[in-house]
Amino acid sequence: MPGGNEPRSYYVGMDVGTGSVRAALVDQRGTLLAFADQPINQWEPQFNHHEQSSEDIWAACCVVSKKVVQGVNLHQIRGLGFDATCSLVVLDKQFRPLPVNHEGDSRRNIIMWLDHRAVSQVHRINETKHSVLQYVGGVMSVEMQAPKLLWLKENLRETCWDKAGHFFDLPDFLSWKATGVTARSLCSLVCKWTYSAEKGWDDSFWKMVGLEDLVTDNYSKIGNQVLPPGASLGSGLTPEAAKDLGLPPGIAVAASLIDAHAGGLGVIGADVKGHGLACEGQPVTSRLAVICGTSSCHMGISKNPIFVPGVWGPYFSAMVPGFWLNEGGQSITGKLIDHMVQGHAAFPELQAKATARGQSVYAYLNSHLDLIKKAQPVGFLTVDLHVWPDFHGNRSPLADLTLKGMVTGLKLSQDLDDLAILYLATVQAIAFGTRLIIEAMESAGHSISTLFLCGGLSKNPLFVQMHADITGLPVVLSQEVESVLVGAAVLGACASGDFASVQEAMAKMSKVGKVVFPRHEDKRYYDKKYQVFLKLVEHQKEYAAIMKGD
């Protein structure tokens, strides 16, 4: 609960991640005064189908919102901002949930961002070579909305497609639910729906891919009113939503952001003076925000559009107004680490030992690695164990959803040492993936000197140090660990009118906490491991070609 005598303005930030909903009460300096989280349901009815429920997510938003404002003078709450994963929410003409599954379960009305059911649809979309594809790195991802819409039309015509009245990106669903305003955020439409900030919708694209029905009703189902993130929506929070969320009716509600973009706003504008960072004397375009949760997203901005093959964008004003955004990404990172650790034979032993020590399994593994490394740097434990991390395809920069994971260097052991080293090799592989994305961005014209990390994985010191060592760049961590929520609160603060612009709010509300520098003495070792890393994918492609041949 806030204290002190100074009158303060508060904003509520709400972050809907893949695994949970988080809320925070944040003041105008970006300080978090209260935090709450609540897990959300996910269904995987078949391989590569991932679904959620918009009612379940809204209910979780209500729980966390009520928690963070407990005991607070509600008159001091001035704005509310949402961010969420870019999942597809489907509602009928009366705004009721529609099933996105063959079972007809209308509770499950969200196709999640990581759902890969629309493989055939995205192939056909990419075969059109339509000019909008230039603005998604040259290749549309199966994780974007157009292939998912086409899948619904081709597979659930009667139960879903013909009845649908509204297709929302999850961040826009939440702002609609709070205000009754169906306007979409420029962020979601530009990044996931092929909308152009300058030219609007391109009718020829939708007609060419077989979704002409969306054009004929003037795009009302997917959005024909578009607002910049942070703009105030309608008359603010409706009385009904205010009751649900435990917030005052009428407070400003902002046009929202995708979660990675909120993380970007929460970290990228911080004042870095006095930390010995190269980016202190450089423009903000030298900073790369890396938001690491279930997936990792690499957000780089530029004054002019930069076309990076295999990296999404360039998107104008989709994150920081007036700047172009390129978004590199790894579809699974936190989820991959969890998968490798939880699937290992020694996981029950790890869990028991971590619980006995009152630690998370990751804190336990990190200290176990410190024990077994002896005199050498911890990263050197993987000299003969290498991982290629694309267990769910490659989002960037290879943009190849057929790629699979690889591990080389396995032994006939399944003990805790073995698990810890496999975990380390997985963390390193994710950092090598980031290095590959940065190299692609730099060869296209970006110049990046500093990483700003946030998201759940940034709480893992090993993950952070490996990103510094393997990219050779310093990593800035924010003062507030929950920086994505600071980004959501920046939106609420802008909508309230307390700040004149997103830039002003993010500069005042994001703050540097800690800087982790790379261990340059280990560079030669990581350069060699990177060479092996690149060989892994080359070999994987060779194997595929051999198996395809006669």
Ligand X SMILES: O=C(CO)[C@H](O)[C@H](O)COP(=O)(O)O
Ligand Y SMILES: Nc1ncnc2c1ncn2[C@@H]1O[C@H](COP(=O)(O)OP(=O)(O)O)[C@@H](O)[C@H]1O
**Cβ count within 10 A of residue 248:** 17
Interaction with ligand X in 217-236: which residues (CB under 6 A)? none
Interaction with ligand X in 448-477: which residues (CB under 6 A)? 455
CB of 234 to ligand Y, least distance (A): 28
Pick 260 or 421: Cβ nearer ligand X: 260
| Both structure tokens of 27 | 């003041």
Tell me, residue by residue from 449 to 488, as one string, x for binding to ligand Y by CB under 6 A and - for no binding: ------xxx-xx----------------------------
Question: For residues 111 and 117, is the Cβ–Cβ distance under 8 A?
Answer: yes
Cis amide linkage into residue 147, ω under 30° from 0: no
Q: Does 430 bind ligand Y (CB under 6 A)?
A: no
Residue of 65, 85, 366, 496 interacting with ligand X (CB under 6 A): 85
Question: For residues 286 and 319, is the Cβ–Cβ distance under 8 A?
Answer: no
| CA–CA separation, 50 and 463 (whole Å) | 27
Q: Does 337 bind ligand X (CB under 6 A)?
A: no
* Reduced 3-state DSSP string for 424-460: HHHHHHHHHHHHHHHHHHHHHCCCCCEEEEECHHHHC
Interaction with ligand X in 93-132: which residues (CB under 6 A)? 113
Residue of 53, 188, 294, 426 interacting with ligand Y (CB under 6 A): 294
Instruction: Determine the 3-state secondary structure of 291 from DSSP.
Output: strand
CB of 140 to ligand Y, least distance (A): 22
Q: Does 347 bind ligand Y (CB under 6 A)?
A: no
Pick 113 or 499: Cβ nearer ligand X: 113
Report the residue number whose CB is nearest to ligand X.
293
Q: Does 259 bind ligand X (CB under 6 A)?
A: yes
Residue of 91, 98, 160, 260 interacting with ligand X (CB under 6 A): 260
| CA–CA separation, 43 and 232 (whole Å) | 34
| CA–CA separation, 289 and 443 (whole Å) | 18
Pick 240 or 370: Cβ nearer ligand Y: 370
From 20-28, 39-47, 288-296, 436-444, span contacting ligand X (CB under 6 A): 288-296
Could you tell me the end-to-end alpha-carbon distance of the chain, in angstroms, rounded to an integer? 69
**What, of ligand X, ligand Y, none, does residue 297 touch, CB below 5 to 8 Å by kind?**
ligand X
Q: Does 86 bind ligand X (CB under 6 A)?
A: yes
Q: Does 13 bind ligand Y (CB under 6 A)?
A: no
Pick 149 or 361: Cβ nearer ligand Y: 361
**What, of ligand X, ligand Y, none, does residue 204 touch, CB below 5 to 8 Å by kind?**
none
Pick 149 or 346: Cβ nearer ligand Y: 346
Residue of 285, 295, 426, 465 interacting with ligand X (CB under 6 A): 295
| CA–CA separation, 49 and 30 (whole Å) | 37
Residues 6+ apart with CB under 8 A from 523: 469, 472
Query: Binding residues for ligand X, how many (CB under 6 A)?
Result: 16
Q: Considering only CA atoms, which of 313, 266, 281, 298 is closest in space to residue 478?
A: 266
Tell me, residue by residue from 12 to 31, as one string, x for binding to ligand X by CB under 6 A and - for no binding: -----xx-------------
| Both structure tokens of 79 | 């704005």
**What, of ligand X, ligand Y, none, does residue 337 touch, CB below 5 to 8 Å by kind?**
ligand Y
Count Cβ atoms within 10 A of the Cβ of residue 107 and give its class: 0-12 exposed, 13-18 middle, 19 or more buried: middle
Q: CA dist 368 to 131, 381, 420, Å? A: 51, 12, 7
Q: Does 58 bind ligand X (CB under 6 A)?
A: no
Q: Does 51 bind ligand X (CB under 6 A)?
A: no
Residue with tokens 């994971």: 405
Interaction with ligand Y in 301-340: which residues (CB under 6 A)? 334-335, 337-338
Q: Does 496 bind ligand X (CB under 6 A)?
A: no
**What, of ligand X, ligand Y, none, does residue 86 touch, CB below 5 to 8 Å by kind?**
ligand X
Q: Does 389 bind ligand Y (CB under 6 A)?
A: no
What number of CA atoms fall less than 13 Å from residue 125's CA on the CB side? 29
- 391 forms beta bridges with 393
Scored b (16 or more CB within 10 A) or e, 481-491 reads bbbbbbbbbbb
Pick 40 or 156: Cβ nearer ligand Y: 40
**What, of ligand X, ligand Y, none, does residue 109 touch, CB below 5 to 8 Å by kind?**
none
Q: CA dist 371 to 317, 377, 378, 381, Å? A: 47, 11, 9, 11
Residues that bind ligand X (CB under 6 A): 17-18, 85-86, 113, 191, 258-260, 293-295, 297, 327, 329, 455
Residues that bind ligand Y (CB under 6 A): 17-20, 293-294, 334-335, 337-338, 360, 362, 455-457, 459-460
